[in-house]
Amino acid sequence: GVFVERGEGVGVVEYSELDPEMSAKVANAETGELYYNWSNICMQYYSKDFLTRICCDDEVHLEHHLASKTIPTVDGPVPGVKMEQFIFDVFHYAKKSCLLEVMRDEEFAPIKSEIASATTALTALEGRWSQSGSAEDFNTWWYLH
């Protein structure tokens, strides 16, 4: 999904819930920068106190998202609708939040659990570092992670 302002804080709108016209809305015609250009790559950090408050507060109600999916059954896959909740649904309950902009090709790859794809992506990143002629890129990444 993409980050949006939600009330006094930050929220995320899932791509499937964003109107296609809005998702393609251009903020800067010269650069082609999109209006909704901050994607959620699901790298979040929460304090224990915050999560305890979210889990124990009867006033906190997380929304459900409807998702059309193929659902496996004993008789084979069938089309269906699932009700989902996401970890980012708690963002707007935070008193403070911070978003960081990162280089997509270094911090994100849309890989679920495919080891071969992850290995290919990591090898490509390491290749870019080796072509830079500097170990500084690798050391910076290693010590930050």
pLDDT at 114: 66
pLDDT tens by residue, 98-124: 888 887 777 777 666 666 777 787 788
DSSP per position, the chain: -EEEEETTEEEEE-GGGS-HHHHT-EEETTTTEESS--B--S-----HHHHHHHHH-TT-----EEEEEEE--TT--EEEEEEE--GGGGGGG-S--------HHHH----SS-HHHHHHHHHHHHHHHHHTT-SHHHHHHHHH-
pLDDT tens by residue, 17-75: 888 898 889 988 999 888 888 888 888 889 999 999 999 999 888 889 888 889 899 99
Q: What is the mean pLDDT of residues 9-21?
A: 86
pLDDT at 55: 92
Q: What is the pTM of this model?
A: 0.66
